[in-house]
A and B are shown apart, each in its own frame.
Chain A
């Protein structure tokens, strides 16, 4: 089954063709970073306007690059849950129109479910059940993947997403946007132990994260250095901050794996491209006898191929939507009990 996937939940306009839920024929991602860079964050109204301009071109290019025509499309999958409402609406309007016009099934997908499938597309052998950590600028979530389309949400962030903390600190230190890649690069030159930043909720039993206090500590450390007139060790600040984030993410994810008695961890989302995070998770996996899977770098950030794959899985389980499909900007990943 050839599924056209559409993803516009944040600032990437993406369309993809995926065959049978596993073969990616095309995955076009139009990045809006240049438009948002000067604001140090994604401006919702600018993102929604840009999606409207780009959506037709991106879908057309996905078909071209995949060597298919609209008539070959057998279903349309779209991100309908979790994201910026104005952005979600554009992709959903396009998906609904195509479903109606082409008379093919429509399926709405939760954005986080898409990230779970990014790992499956990159690593078809990833075992079930597993624990999946999805971590990006927009979300930080720990999910027990019992089976595809059957999830248990273990915890999320109570304030900033992990990637958001990277962005805000990069903005404060005037390093540019997005913050993840810049801090990743700077940190390779820095001392990870230079600053003892807090590890929020590290010991807490629940699988919740908090990165707001850590962000404040980093900003205070920066101001302390500034006040004492010392030269600013940006590399050390970056490395120490990044280490604190990775420590917390790893500790919670490992604890979830133990509690749910699984020997497989998947890490997805934009922050899963972070080199230190990959290194620390891989080392811990070796030490603890746990297999750790990461998507290909092209599948880490938001993309429509992962939405098409998730949509295919739902369609195979008979879970199509009708034309009344609406978007829901903020909703937990639903627990699905199938058959």
Chain B
């Protein structure tokens, strides 16, 4: 099954095409806040490089995040509208799973990590390999590295874009050399492979309902505080 995969959750965006297990194209580009400006042009050039047209694509895969909320919304909307306008199925793939899959040759526990923005908060999850793919063990994690380190009780490989700082902190905390690290970026072809497997299994998502994976609440709470403070000041002033 010929699938186009995209992931726009990080500082770089990814576009790839896979036919079953065979990768036809895999392209990563730095966006610098130009994700929207670049995404369609890059999809077009990746398809052209792979020697295919949009009409040849049989399904779409979309990285759902977590990561940059704004970035993910662009990717999810593009994937959703590609599927809608071509009448082909779409499948969303959690970006942590994409990173874990890219380390599926590891026998130890696999722990992908994605930065959650300010304050040193991270998203993470644990995966184990099996049947040449990975399976999530437990829930998604959101918190800080020391807390995450406390959950590690066996050899683990950390997978992240900027993995050395995480490895340093966690290795120190655990005073252990059972923490390996692997630098990795979510790849578009990986998204396509994982989506193809599920689409071939007859598990597409509801196209129009496709939505990002938000592990954190929105900033509404901060908004309330800002306004109530202002209202209080106005009342006192």
Contact = CB atoms under 8 A, between A and B. Distances in A.
A125 to B, nearest CB: 37
Contact of B86 (A57, A92, A101): A101
B76 interface: yes
A260 interface: no
Contacts of A101: 54, 81-82, 85-86
A52 to B, nearest CB: 5
A326 interface: yes
A94 B78 CA distance: 6
Interface string B3-45: 0000000000000000000000000000000101111110110
Interface residues of B, number: 39
B219 interface: yes
Given A40-B227, A43-B218, A45-B220, A97 B81 contact: yes
Contact of B218 (A45, A51, A94, A326): A45
A171 B231 contact: yes
B224 A39 contact: yes
B59 interface: no
A60 B84 contact: yes
Nearest to A92: B36
Given A96-B40, A326-B36, A327-B36, A89 B84 contact: no
A101 B44 CA distance: 10
B85 A89 contact: no
A93 B36 CA distance: 7
A296 interface: no
B81 A93 contact: yes
Nearest to B55: A101
A48 B54 CA distance: 28
B36 A100 contact: no
Contact of B223 (A43, A59, A70, A325): A43
Contacts, number: 113
A250 interface: no
A102 B87 CA distance: 12
A43, A93, A223, A325 interface centre (most CB from chain B within 10 Å): A93
A258 interface: no
Contacts of B235: 223
Nearest to A41: B227
Contact of A86 (B54, B73, B85): B73
Given A41-B227, A326-B34, A52 B212 contact: yes
A51 to B, nearest CB: 8
Interface in A150-189: 171-172
Contact of A93 (B34, B69, B74, B211): B74
Contact of B37 (A45, A51, A94, A326): A326
A44, A59, A101 interface centre (most CB from chain B within 10 Å): A101
A98 B85 contact: yes
A75 interface: no
A97 B37 contact: no
B81 A94 contact: yes
Interface size class of A (residues with CB under 8 A): 35 or more
A46 B220 contact: yes
Interface string A191-233: 0000000000000000000000000000100010000000000
B64 to A, nearest CB: 11
Nearest to B79: A97
Contact of B77 (A40, A85, A97): A97
A90 interface: yes
A324 interface: yes
B70 interface: yes
Nearest to B75: A93
B85 A52 contact: no
A332 interface: no
Given A89-B73, A90-B73, A49 B218 contact: yes
A102 B208 CA distance: 18
B23 to A, nearest CB: 23
Contact of B78 (A43, A44, A93): A93
Nearest to A36: B220
Interface in A76-98: 85-86, 89-90, 92-94, 96-98
Contacts of B39: 93, 96
A273 B237 CA distance: 33
Contacts of B76: 52
B40 A97 contact: yes
Contacts of B207: 56
Q: Which 9 A-B pairs have the closest CB atoms?
A: A56-B208, A97-B81, A101-B85, A93-B77, A45-B218, A326-B37, A323-B40, A45-B219, A52-B73
23 contacts: A39-B227, A45-B69, A45-B218, A45-B220, A46-B220, A48-B70, A51-B73, A52-B76, A52-B211, A52-B212, A56-B84, A89-B36, A90-B74, A92-B36, A93-B77, A94-B77, A96-B39, A96-B40, A101-B85, A102-B85, A223-B235, A324-B38, A326-B36
Given A45-B219, A101-B81, A327-B36, 10 more contacts: A39-B220, A39-B227, A45-B218, A52-B212, A89-B73, A89-B74, A96-B78, A97-B77, A219-B234, A323-B44
